[in-house]
Structure 1
Amino acid sequence: MYMMLMFLSVLLSSLRNIFSKGISDISFGTKEFFLLQSVTFLCAGLCLLGVSENAFDAISLVTVGYGVIYGIMLIGAQYCYTCAMRGGNMGMCSTIYSMGFILPTLSGFLFWREKLKIANLLGIVLVIPIIIISGLSPETNKNQKYSDSKFIFPAVLAMISSGGLGIMQKVQQNSIWFYQKEIFLIFAFLLASFVSFVLFLTAKPSSQRISPKKYFYGVIIGVAFGFSNLLNTICAGKLKSAVFFPLLNVSTILFSVISGVVIYKEKITYRDILVFLLGALAIVMISR
C-alpha cells in the first residue's frame, strides 16, 4: 500500500516539475516571483486544509513547532536553490540539491535504529552516480559556463534544507502527534506563503508581468506540492528511510526523463538510457 502511495507521490512530483517549467522564466527576487511563490504555497496549504479531518481540533504546540521548522526549510530549499541557479551551472546546482536525499536516508539508521542491508547500501550508493549523470548532461555543460564559486554556498544550503524536510517528516510521524500530519504541513505552507507575501511587498517592482496562465500553473504546482508532501510524510513514517528516500529520488528522476521525452519531445540520449538502466538496478537493490 505504501509503495503505491510513494508511486502516486512520484507522479505528483513529476506533474509539479512539468508545470514548473512553465514559470521558470520568472526572475528570482522580483515582486512577480515572490507573489507567485506565495500563491503556490497558499494553494498547497488550502488543499491540505480541505482534506484534513482534524483541522479544527485541539492542536499540539509540538505540531506547530514542527510546522514552523518545516516551513523554514521549505523556504530555504526553494529560495536557496533558485538563488544558486542564478549564478551557477544548472547541472551542478541540480546535482548538489539532489544529494539532499542522503541526509534522511541515513537518519533512519542513525536515529531510529533501522536495519540497513548491504544490498540497500549498494543501491543507495548507486543513486549518487545516477544523480550526477542526469544532472551534468552534455547539453547543460555546452550551453552554460561555470561562474565563480559563490553559487555553491546557496546550493549546499538548499541541499541541507531539502534533506531536512525528509528528516522532519520522519520526526513528525514518529511523534505521538503523528495523526496531526495535515496540520503540520498546513502550518508550514501557510508560513511559507506569508513570508513570500512579505517579500513580495518589500521587493522592487520589475517590468515583468505574470499572465493568468502562469497563475494557473502556480495553483496546479501548489496542489501537487501539497499532496506529494502529505504522501511523503505518511510514507516516511511507515517505510524504512534507506528504502523510501532513495526510491523516491531515483523514481522522480526516471519520471522526469519520461515526461521530457513524452511531453517536450526531447530526444532519448545514451545518457538517458544509462540513467534508466542504473535506476532500474538501484530500485531492485534498494527494494530487496
Structure 2
Amino acid sequence: MSKILITCAVTGSIHTPSMSPHLPWRPEDIVAQSIGAAEAGAAILHLHARDPEDGRPSADPAHFMGVLPDIAAGTDAVLNLSTGGSAVMGLDQRLAGPMRAEPEMCSLNMGTMNFALYPMAARHADWRFDWEEPFLTGSDDLVFKNTPRDIAHVLTEMGEKRGARFEFECYDSGHLTMLCHFVDRGLVKPPIFIQFVFGVLGGMAPLPENLTHMKRLADTYFDEDYLFSVLAAGRAQMPMATMAAGMGGHVRVGLEDNLYIARGELARSNAEQVAHVREIVERLGRTVATPDEAREMLGLKGRDKVAS
C-alpha cells in the first residue's frame, strides 16, 4: 500500500470554547497546536479561522493571516484552508480568507445538506460566551448551502485562478455523483483527493458498510484517478480511521472532528490524536507521508506559490 497521508483538522467551526479547555481558538494556540500536530506526523493541516476575542468561527482574512505566517514559519506541512467556513456563513464570506491566502490546498463541500449540531447543546450547561448556545441550538433549522453554482465558483476562484488543489468533502453518496459531474465538465482533474465524512447529523452515519459502499462507488466513478481519506466525528474517529488505513486509504483526525482521545477523556492537544493514529497506521504496516511526499501525491503547486 502507498504511503499514508495524515490530515489534522486543528480547530474547525463546530466545537465551541466551552466544550474543551484544549480546543485552540486564540491565535497563539492555533499556531502552537498546528505546529505540534505536524511534528507528530500530520502532513496536512486543515485550518479554519476563529475570532480571537471570543472563539467564534470566522473567515475574516485578518484572522486567517493572523495565524498562517506563523504556522508556515514553524512547519513545512501543507496548509489546507476551509472554504466551508461555517454553515451559517454565505459563500462570499466563506471564501474571503482563502482568496486572500491563496493556499496550496482547500476543502470543498460537494453538496447542500442539513448540518445539525443542536444535540451537542444538551451536553453543556455553562457557556463561556453568549454566542455558543444559540449557534448550536439554531442549527435545527440550518441548511448548509453548496449548490452546483457555488461549487463551480469555488473551483474557478480557488482552483483555476489561484492554483489550489482540493480536498473534496463528501458527506453522502450523492456528493460523489456531483464530483463525477464536475470531472465530466472538466473542472476537476486527477489526482482527486476525496474526504469521506461520517457522523455529522445530516450526512452518513459512521458505519463500516457506509465506508465500503462509498469506496465501491468511488472506484466505479474515478477508477485509479483518486485517493480517499476518512474522517469520522466523535467516538467513531479512531475506529473509522483504522478501517480506512487497512483499506489503503488515508486518515484525518483533530479537535475539529472529535474532542476526545478515549472514552470520557478529553484530548489535550491535536498532536495527541495525531500521535495516536500514527501508531495505529504504522502497526498496520503503513508508512506516514512527509509534507513533500503529500505535495507530490496530490500535485500541489508548492508552498513558494502561496500569498504572503
* TM-score interval for Structure 1 and Structure 2 normalised by the shorter chain: under 0.3
> For the pair shown, which has the larger CA radius of gyration, 1 or 2?
1
- Say which structure is richer in strand: 2
